[in-house]
Amino acid sequence: MTFIRRTAFAFLGCALTGLSALPAFAAGSVIQVGLWDRGNMPMMGEPQMAMGMMGADMPMAMMGVTLDQAKVPSGDITFQVTNNSTDMIHEMVLAAVDDVSTQLPYIREEQRVDEDAAGDLGEVAALESGQSGALTLTLKPGTYILYCNIPGHYMARMWTLLTVTG
């Protein structure tokens, strides 16, 4: 009887040791998103730096969205969003992009993207200076745009692209 118990405990110990060597299941990707600007400056008309426009990647942008990684595998993705501005409200909206040379639908009178027509997948809305928020979605392979839709911000180059791989 003692032999059976020892054998059972030895088997259980080996089994548990073997389990600890198994790879952990991936919990998804986490992307750190920074929303920034160069200070509260008056908007001088529309700078015209929307996705799909010539010169849209100009390094002189007064606002922007940065990612700690621009390519992640498909599946659950959490966007940890921080408004790094010292005095402006920003937000992050996510939409799928079929063609990066095509502009998002834009409402000129309101100086913002038509989120419904653009295919809004989710957002972290209206973050005050220094505030953070999060959004978790399950994304398929493709290209996505993250942008701020506070009036005037998208055209001031406050957007970036994310690639989700298969």
* Cα–Cα distance for residue pair 78/136, rounded to 1 Å: 4
- How many residues are there in the chain? 166
The per-residue pLDDT string of the chain (166 residues; one tens digit each, 9 = 90 and over) reads: 544 444 444 444 444 444 334 333 446 999 999 999 987 655 544 455 565 554 555 556 789 999 999 999 999 999 999 999 999 999 999 999 999 999 999 999 999 999 999 999 999 999 999 999 999 999 999 999 999 999 999 998 999 999 999 9
Asked whether 88 and 122 are in contact (CB, 8 A), the reply is: no
pLDDT of residue 141: 98
pLDDT at 100: 92
User: What are the Cα distances from residue 10, in Å, to 4, 7, 15, 16, 22?
Assistant: 10, 5, 9, 10, 19
- In the prediction, which pLDDT does 133 show? 98
pLDDT for res 38: 85
Please report, for the chain, the start and end positions of each structural domain, with discontinuous segments joined by +.
Answer: 26-165
CA-only gyration radius of the chain, Å: 23
Residue 27, phi-psi category: left (phi > 0), alpha (psi -120 to 50), beta (remainder): alpha
Burial of residue 66 (CB within 10 Å: 0-12, 13-18, 19+) is: middle
pLDDT value, residue 62: 85
Encoded tokens for 1: 């009887």
Q: Rounded to whole angstroms, how far apart are CA atoms 95 and 9? A: 54
- Looking at the structure, give the CATH architecture of the domain made up of residues 26-165: Sandwich (2.60)
- Site of tokens 């055209």: 155
